[in-house]
Amino acid sequence: MQKKKSSLIKMSDHDEKMSDRVFMQEVNTWEYIDDGIKKTTLKRKFREDDYNDHYISEIIPYEKPK
């Protein structure tokens, strides 16, 4: 995804205009790591013709089943 001028955000090979009602999105990714489970959250906050991305990661201790 690339930032573009105006209120368009390039998603794949086509442009989509974000609704004026959308002000924030969150995407959670869960993955197994050696120390347990890692949860990474991407928070995208929209404002006028731009957006900011914030990443939050946390480790949850967990022993993988064998």
pLDDT in tens, 17-64: 667 788 999 999 999 999 999 999 999 999 888 899 999 999 999 877
In a domain, 65, yes or no: yes
In a domain, 12, yes or no: no
In a domain, 24, yes or no: yes
38 vs 49: CA distance, rounded Å: 32
* Residues spanned by the domain of 37: 19-66
The predicted pLDDT at position 60 comes to 96
30 vs 27: CA distance, rounded Å: 10
In a domain, 7, yes or no: no
Q: How many folded domains does the chain comprise?
A: 1
In a domain, 2, yes or no: no
51 vs 2: CA distance, rounded Å: 11
21 vs 23: CA distance, rounded Å: 6
In a domain, 34, yes or no: yes
pTM beyond 0.85, yes or no: no
